[in-house]
Structure 1
């Protein structure tokens, strides 16, 4: 009873199985011994100890003459051999894996040669087919299933093998073939039942709707999954088809309907393996519909219900984005910083830092915004967000007229991210900045000039012309250098300054005013 209830640890702890085997062997009761080995095999299987299971099942086959026990020992040994083959494959030992797959096929062939229950027969054929595929003999599996279909003695048996062929085609990504066989199953004249644990037509509807999804035929997927749900509203595939309905509606941009479909899916299938994705899509539906607080709540629920799921960093980031869109800036900032702290090695960390920086600005905390962007550049220089952040640092300093820091920031963009759009923009802005810096220095020098401090002004105008030779301000500085030198009695120096203005200004219309000024001053010397 303990084994039947799945209480394998209790069975192992409370029952002296090895002692019972020894007693049975001494009494010559090999059938009882075989039955106890079967219990040990079940326990080993539950623990995933497939090598031990194979050993125990082999002991059964040495002892028993019970045809039913022999049959199931063959079945479970074949299944265990398949698992051992997978383990060897994962370790890269393909030679050992081949031996296990061959043993699997041999045992399952023996099992299938007798009268077996429908569910067990399907499990055996499915595993046998998968073992053949792992041996590179997929076409043999297709031929075997096709032969079984052709030789089936009843529509029901035929549908069993069609189901296996459909699943094989689908697993092999032969979608058109899978579609064809699924349609044959749905239209078949067999009596469908769930003796194998599911209805075959229901499974065909599920596979067919998945095929349509992978082919991008979302309307066909929606129609097929909806029809399957109508016929089998509470079947084993209802969760999968419910998810397809929601996702097809989402991809068809019918977001209100998709949200309702995902709500129903989540409510009716709380244990379905795609549930995290269901929450994720529901959150996106709300986000697209502008229902930001509801979206944030769904993403929060996803992160809390499935804390180890790969969606969590993304879900938390989207939670932050939706709180931001709902103008819940302080709460959004907390979430962004949590993402960066908890998931520093994901793509969402730099993205979250970038969003956090802009949120600091919205909260009127510019120093922290700049510091966060600089942290992002230092921690994630290879991220796209690093170049956005570094460029934004330059923009911030430019907007606050801290031109030298802006200049430094833009130069860093060009140095770290050459060839990017941000680098090209930074190059153009550096030209503007050069003019702004020169103009700022010019205003200071001109203020001294107006005070009559001609010696200081002359030095300052000369430094501006030398430091910013490509700017218009440099020409203006040279012209005023000449005037300052005139006031200082240096006519020759003034003449040279005016001549340089005329030479550098040339015929450029933008420079005409300052060139004409220099010419007029030169004539009056």
Structure 2
């Protein structure tokens, strides 16, 4: 019996859709036909009801264009706006809803304003959307649209970073309409607002009960991530880590899973014992499949544990297994710094050169500076000068890095016998470096260069002048 009912329902829907198509596509005999405006209205209305939004749009747009004085114009424009919104064309929908301002009222009171708010929300004009939702709620709190308008008002307040107002509005919605279709989303959003307000004692119970209260809700994974995050942030580190681990185990491919893993690691590193931190290092190094984030975090843990060999092992794996990842370029810079510290100038120069391939201006400037200073140590003065010039060319480079590079450039040019070029670099450092010691050093070098420039060149070999 149930199967027959489903089949008949599908047939009825198909018949309704076919009727709409035939009404719009086939001309009717003039003697029995509906007038053209009535036919277009009937097809548009039925097509919308059947979910045939493309057909509804074409038909209603034709009705509106051809029948500007028809009594059904307001209703047609309202339905046209909703059709466009359903098709994802929020800008055109907004145009239709705003046209209703010049027409007699259509639909429920404030219905046009509500749909205008929905369109504004879709085009990310949040301030205007909020004002429209607020107008619906204030002017007709008893309207059938009031719950949806209140939800929209709370949502826009949350997106506009007004968590205090959003929390109150979501509470009002859940108190007045606890069985609203958006009750699950409203509860999760209320918890989000409370977390932003650091009212963890109110947020955590909402998130704990969410899976049981809203079984099957698509926001259950996000709610469990937020529960763990809230507990960790509230200082409940052990419970929070347990929640995050449970989330990762249940939803390993969720978009928040990588962030959850990082939060687990960060929490254990910050608040765990030395043994726990060592355990996390081992887990991250043995993770399968490996990820650049895991290896980078492992290196950070080894650094905190003062284990330079283990730290370099993590950096080198990151460089080898993920050479093009941005974190690998950070690791290259860290390896360069470690090599420079132990006076392995060749290794330092090579790793710094790799790090300088980054698109991040700050890292590129630091890498080029280290490369230049390593090349100076290796007495490869042309390469050093090129690296230092690269630092100076980086837009927005830190002042300390800029003037260290200019100081290095002066030394490189001096060794290359480009004395005037060296003097220009030294003068720039002496004039503007924020480091007083470096300014004094640059003045001394500039004075020495000026003295050399003032001396006449030594006679060439074989010069017979007396």
Shorter chain as denominator, the TM-score bin is 0.5 to 0.7
Q: Which residue of 2 aligns with 1:263?
A: 208
Q: 2:12 aligns with which of 27, 38, 44?
A: 38
Shift of 1:415: 1.2
Question: Which region of structure 1 is more displaced relative to structure 2, 71-80 or 245-254?
Answer: 71-80
1:185-209: CA deviation from partner (whole Å, max 9, x where unpaired): 22334644xxxxxx52221221111
Residue matched to 2:414: none
Picking from 393, 416, 421, the partner of 2:354 is: 416
Kindly tell me: are residues 265 and 102 of structure 1, through their superposed partners in 2, closer, same or farther at Cα, counting changes over 3 Å? Answer: same
C-alpha RMSD of the superposition: 4.9
Counterpart of 1:228 (choices 158, 163, 173) is: 173
Distance in structure 1 (CA, Å) of the matches to 2:261 and 2:140 = 50
What is the aligned partner in structure 1 of residue 284 from structure 2?
A: 336
Matches within 5 A, 1:456-495: none
- In structure 2, the gaps of 5 or more residues are 34-40, 357-363, 380-410, 412-443, 446-466
Distance across 1 between alignment mates of 2:124 and 2:90:
17
Structure-2 change in CA distance of 1:288 and 1:376 (3 Å): same
When residues 302 and 430 of structure 1 are mapped into structure 2, their CA distance, relative to the original with a 3 A threshold, is farther
Q: CA deviation at 1:211?
A: 1.4
Aligned residues: 355
Who is 1:279 aligned against? 224
Q: Look up the match of 1:102.
A: 58
Q: Is the 8 A contact 2:221 2:247 kept in 1?
A: yes
CA contact (8 A) 2:94 2:120 kept: no
Structure 2: distance between partners of 1:107 and 1:75: 14
CA distance in 1 between counterparts of 2:261 and 2:372 reads 36
Task: Tell me what 2:83 maps to.
Answer: 128
CA gap 1:114/1:257 in 2 versus in 1, 3 angstroms:
same
* Structure 2 CA distance for aligned equivalents of residues 122 and 256 of structure 1: 48
Q: Partner of 1:393 in structure 2?
A: 335
Shift in Å, 1:425: 5.7
Contact map agreement 1:101 1:132 (CA 8 A) in 2: no
How far apart, CA to CA, are the structure 2 residues paired with 1:146 and 1:377?
A: 62
Match of residue 46 from structure 2: 75
The superposition leaves residues 149-194 of structure 1 with CA deviations (integer Å, 9 ceiling, x where unpaired) of x5258xxx214444323222222333333223322322334644xx
Q: Is the 8 A contact 1:146 1:165 kept in 2?
A: no
Structure-1 residue corresponding to 2:453: none
Q: CA deviation at 1:225?
A: 1.9
SS at match of 1:319: helix
Deviation at 1:130, TM superposition (A): 1.5
Structure 1 residues 161 and 339: alpha-carbon distance in aligned structure 2, compared to 1, 3 A threshold: farther
Q: Is the 8 A contact 2:210 2:223 kept in 1?
A: yes
TM-score, normalised with respect to structure 2: 0.59
Superposed CA offset, 1:398-438 (max 9, x none): 77x6x43xx3442233312344335546766898999xxxx
Task: Write the distance in 1 (CA, Å) between the matches of 2:137 and 2:121.
Answer: 16
Cα displacement string for residues 260-307 of structure 1 (whole angstroms, at most 9, x for unaligned residues): 443354553343333333333333222323333322222223223334
With over 3 angstroms needed to count, the CA separation of the structure-2 counterparts of 1:299 and 1:114, relative to structure 1, is farther
How far, CA to CA, are the matches of 1:297 and 1:123 in structure 2? 51
Match of 2:154 in 1: 209
| Alignment-derived partner of residue 175 in structure 1 | 126
How far apart are the structure 1 equivalents of 2:198 and 2:234? 11
| CA spacing shift, 1:185–1:127, aligned 2, 3 Å | closer
CA distance in 1, matches of 2:176, 2:139: 15
> 1:435-446 alignment to 2 at 5 Å?
none
Change (3 A) 1:362 1:393: same
**Structure 1 residue runs without a partner (length 5+):** 12-16, 18-34, 42-52, 86-98, 116-120, 193-198, 343-348, 435-469, 471-506, 509-525
Q: How far, CA to CA, are the matches of 1:389 and 1:125 in structure 2? A: 56
Contact conserved, 1:390 with 1:409, CA < 8 A, in 2? no
Counterpart CA distance in 1 for 2:57 and 2:110 is 26
